[in-house]
Structure 1
């Protein structure tokens, strides 16, 4: 299943109007990703919520790109921090599948990207294998610790900052 969402539509829905760059994110075959398992949650709903939140975050980061630039990202694999393990007991409840976050279950994401200027000339393109092996070493604020995708967002931000330096962003 190939799902393409134009991020600018998401911006309109969210009411954000301060957009410099056009952004599109394609989630290629998310059913085949390494780990986007919601445990006891509906898989389709969990998958949709994860992709929606990560896409909105990419759109937010893209506001730093120069006006007229277009960023296209195709995500080809995703492995969320943690691992869904079966049969954890929560109090008096019966055992349930639950995501357990440990150092050995670090987040990864594979993607392809292309940044173009307003005339369509390619400024930067390539593929990237994002991973954050030391994801648990980051100091997190209380608010950030409550975000279930904080580790993935940190990983994406680090890649974005390195890939789209100030030099590219101000062209």
Structure 2
């Protein structure tokens, strides 16, 4: 019985990993990005935290790509939602204040390759979500970079996924042996 359960568990795990592309994110001079300013952390520590979080966002998106796909992303600028206000708290503590006039933005270039190394698509993107406060369905989400995450998820779903699907449909159909 244990062997059957183990086999079932491995089968479920294998099925869950069938669709899993990989991403490599390169950060081009993040110290010069438009806005990765901390409220109260050191600049370096905050920048490293932001880059780790964005690495995770790109990893989550890459997991939706077909197995073996390689996605190379070079981020050239980030402008986080909101702005730092050094007087808002009245206590000398700086706060990041989120207002719709300070929309999130990101600039990056990318190349997506299939499991054989063939280029599926590439491009340069300059994303800015001017309606980020009205379009977000994550009211209770306390994730620090939820606006930027939502912007990247929307781009991925609207732009990259259709290109991957179109590419897959353009490939010649391989017919196997007939039973």
Equivalent residue of 1:88, what SS? coil
Matches within 5 A, 1:37-52: 37-52=37-52
Once residues 98 and 157 of structure 2 are traced to their aligned partners in structure 1, the CA distance between those partners, rounded to angstroms, is 25
Matches within 5 A, 1:28-39: 28-39=28-39
The structure with the largest alpha-carbon Rg is 2
TM-score, length basis structure 2 = 0.78
> Shift in Å at residue 40 of structure 1?
1.7
Once residues 158 and 134 of structure 1 are traced to their aligned partners in structure 2, the CA distance between those partners, rounded to angstroms, is 13
Aligned to 1:168: 164
Once residues 21 and 155 of structure 2 are traced to their aligned partners in structure 1, the CA distance between those partners, rounded to angstroms, is 18
More helix by share: 2
Aligned to 1:122: 119
Q: Does residue 68 of structure 1 match 2:68?
A: yes
Equivalent residue of 2:54, what SS? helix
Equivalent residue of 2:64, what SS? coil
Once residues 52 and 118 of structure 1 are traced to their aligned partners in structure 2, the CA distance between those partners, rounded to angstroms, is 26
Q: Any stretches of 5+ residues in structure 1 without a counterpart?
A: 1-16
> Shift in Å at residue 166 of structure 1?
4.6
Query: Over aligned residue pairs, what C-alpha RMSD do you find?
Result: 1.7
CA displacement, residues 3-36 of structure 1 (integer Å, 9 cap, x when unaligned) = xxxxxxxxxxxxxx94721210111100000000
CA displacement, residues 57-111 of structure 1 (integer Å, 9 cap, x when unaligned) = 1111111111111000000000000001222335xxx322211110100000000
Q: Does residue 97 of structure 1 match 2:90?
A: no
Aligned to 2:6: none
Paired residues in the alignment total: 150
> Shift in Å at residue 123 of structure 1?
0.6
User: Which portions of structure 1, spanning 4 or more consecutive aligned residues, are displaced by more than 2 angstroms?
Assistant: 87-90
> Shift in Å at residue 136 of structure 1?
0.3
